[in-house]
Chain A
Amino acid sequence: MTQLSYIGIRMKAAWIVFLLVFAYLAWHLYTVQILRHEELYAKAKNRYTTVRTSQGHRGEIFDYSGNLLVGNVPCGNIFVDPTETGSDAQCRKAAEFLARELSLDENEVYRNLTTRTITIRGKDGKTKTVAKRYAVIKSVIDFDEFERLKLKIRKAGIKGIYFRSSSKRSYPKNELLANILGFTNLDRDKIVAVIGLEKFYDRNMTSGKGKTKFERSRDGLPLAFGNISREEAHDGLNLYLTIREPLQAILEEELDKLMEVNKPSAAYAIMADPYTGDILAVAQRPTFNPNDRENMNPQAWRNRIAEDIFEPGSIMKPIAVAGALDLGVVSPETKFDCERGRWFYGGKLLRDSHPMGILTVSEIIQHSSNIGTAKIALMMGERNLDSTLRAFGYGKRTGVPLKPETAGIFRPLKRWDKLSITRFPIGQGIAASPLQIVRSYCMLANGGHPVNLRLVDRIENPETGKVEKLPVTRLPSVYRSKDTHHEIIEMMKSVTEPGGTATIAAIRGYHVAGKTGTAQKFINGEYSHKKFTASFIGFVPADKPRFVLLVTADEPHGAYYGGAVSGPYFKSIAERTLKFMRTPPDMDLAVYDAKFKAAKAKVMEEKRRLWAQEARERAERARRKASLRKSQSSVSKNRVRNYAQR
């Protein structure tokens, strides 16, 4: 009985203990699963959840045919976790190895390997020392070099060294189109666009960051059955320019020759399609190589074609004359007295480069007479001249995607003075950017249709493949008369024909319509007699132009006339471009040669006639002078004789 009662008590005690333990466990389970669930779940999740970020590729820039102009090239960064580098002796050895392989300062590397703590200031203003787990050894290493180093360092068994691949902006064509493309800088991990298209389209070309959150296994790989949340990285948009790389190369090569021969302080050339406004090639000097950051001169960054303005000089004449022809104020055969090169108007002297007599409107353009053009403008009147120049886009931005872009200097009509009407049509007192000049010549070439210059042809989304073409605007012609286009083209053709100011720009087999421009630079309130801007602008073939080309040299040394300085380079660029475009000659070469020879003979005959006339006039003047002297001496002799007789 006694034994049985003991058993009963023990059983009861065991039951109580069991119940207590069970209750404790139940309570603990409740605490863990219910009360502290969120906290503990978050802690656990933190341990096995990894977030991996990725960065899409920045948009690339291509030429019209898809040749890469700006791309992304892989590179690598080597960094160290100083808490894992081991003893000082090991660090010294590692520093020696790394310094040798990476061409770095050994002490600097050693310092990076051994600086294991860092003092930081918290938000509360207190300073505290924390472990330093990241130091860059070398960044932006070329891909091939990076791969080689990776193998070598791993083989050497240096502890705490990590490798990370990234990408950098690359400009595979170096100086080619550098000013237009612009460049980017790196501010820590952020890409900052500095100038050019890189800056203008920065928002479109910037890539988006991606984030992948996943539950990982011990080796860091995502668990097959774990939760994965993905935010995909997206690539920036690609730009396809209107630029043709081969033409760009031709332009740059010829511009280099110009710089070498004439040694101007700057030079630029622009080639555009007159019908669509597409800029086919554009170059400027000085320029820079965006891959060579150490030798980059900030002065060379400036986009001269959009930012700089200059007085165009005689380049303006065809614009003003086109207006006069269109209004019916003059015809190509209307004659003007060019005052033998000196003409006073508004109390100021206007001169021609050489004396000229009575010339037709065509000859005024051919010989580039300032006086003749000023007289035509006077016949037009201020209002008509103003509306003509504005219709051709002067005073308005071209809208190319380059910032900043100047609108030029073209005073409103109410602020014109008495001289303005005689100076604006000859390109004085008005300033325009090279792009504005090219736009106005596109209009001359295409029959007076205003065009918007285009630099970007299409924008592509590399992920979806969707391509958005930027529209080509085609507006009605500004000409009222149908004949204006033909008449002005014929006049401009004569500029490159024998007797014109730019025979040197003539291209065998083609009719070239163009105009020279030699403008004195306006320095310190007066026109310089030593510093000039020498330009030539034209289009080929004249009657159905494939392109408009402007070549300008700023402050050339030696020769300074537009025809002499820029003309030859216009010719060589145009000749090579026509071959590239497979544009057949306008006429048979033999016919062209014969015509050219005949025109030259005619000009020589005319010159001989003028020289003979001049010689006759000189002889006549000398004879009159001699007879006057003779009569004067006889008068004085008579006086002496009379005096003696008295």
Chain B
Amino acid sequence: MNTYTRSLKEESAASAVPRQRRDGAKPWFFAFAVKIILMCAFIFAAVTCRVRYNAKIESLNKEAAKIQMRIRKINLITANLRNKREELTAYPYISAKIKQYNLGLREADYRQISYLRIIDLPEKRAVKRHVASSNGKYAERHTALASVR
């Protein structure tokens, strides 16, 4: 029962007895306030962090959506360009252009075609040399050569 209640019951006869504080003791209110402030600060910090975190997530989300839109658009442009490339590289289109610009192109004659087989590559030559000098120990030499390479 606190002082105020007691005073009501005892009517005016009762006089409020002021609380006596011991000398040198800290005020109870200060300690309580510090605790509350700390708690509030902690909650505030946590909530602020969470809000900022959410805001960041949302902004990233929006950014991702924008990038997705851009990717979709780039995909569309790519598909369109691919289609155009196919149209332009089609033989009927090219032959029509050859005719249009009267280009004197003709097909190759067989005699113009020749095959050049490069059989003496430097690496192969090296292998051959090793094989020749190793009296038939081809496998050994070959693996050795491979590791050197």
Contacts and interface: CB of A to CB of B under 8 A. Distances in A.
Interface of A: 4, 67-68, 71-74, 143-144, 165, 167, 170, 172-176, 217, 219, 221-225, 245-246, 249-250, 252-253, 509, 576, 579, 582, 584-585, 589
Contacts of B79: 71-74, 167
Q: Lowest 3 CB-CB distances: which A-B pairs, in order?
A: A249-B91, A172-B86, A74-B76
Contacts of A165: 72, 76
Contact of B110 (A174, A245, A253, A585): A585
B15 interface: no
Nearest to A165: B76
A67 B83 CA distance: 11
A579 B110 contact: yes
Given A74-B76, A165-B76, A175-B92, A68 B65 contact: no
A584 B114 CA distance: 10
Given A143-B77, A221-B61, A223-B61, 7 more contacts: A71-B79, A72-B79, A73-B80, A143-B80, A173-B90, A252-B92, A579-B107
B108 interface: yes
Interface string B43-58: 0000000000010011
Most chain-B Cβ atoms within 10 A of its Cβ — which of A165, A176, A224, A253? A224
A576 B80 contact: no
B134 interface: no
Nearest to B80: A143
A584 B8 CA distance: 125
B58 A217 contact: yes
A582 B112 CA distance: 12
Contact of A222 (B8, B61, B83): B61
Interface of B: 8, 54, 57-58, 60-62, 65, 72, 76-77, 79-80, 82-84, 86-87, 89-92, 95, 107-108, 110-111, 113
Nearest to A71: B83
Contacts of A579: 107-108, 110
A67 B110 contact: no
B107 A576 contact: yes
B110 A68 contact: no
A143 B91 contact: no
Contacts of A250: 91
Contacts of B84: 172
B86 A221 contact: no
8 contacts: A4-B8, A71-B83, A74-B77, A173-B87, A176-B90, A219-B62, A224-B54, A252-B92
Nearest to B75: A74
A224 B91 contact: no
Nearest to B66: A221
Nearest to B72: A165
Contact of A67 (B57, B61, B72, B86): B86
Contacts of B57: 224-225
Contact of B92 (A73, A249, A582): A249
B66 to A, nearest CB: 10
A246 B91 CA distance: 7
Contacts of A144: 80
B58 A172 contact: no
B78 to A, nearest CB: 9
Contacts of A221: 61-62, 65
A170 B83 contact: yes
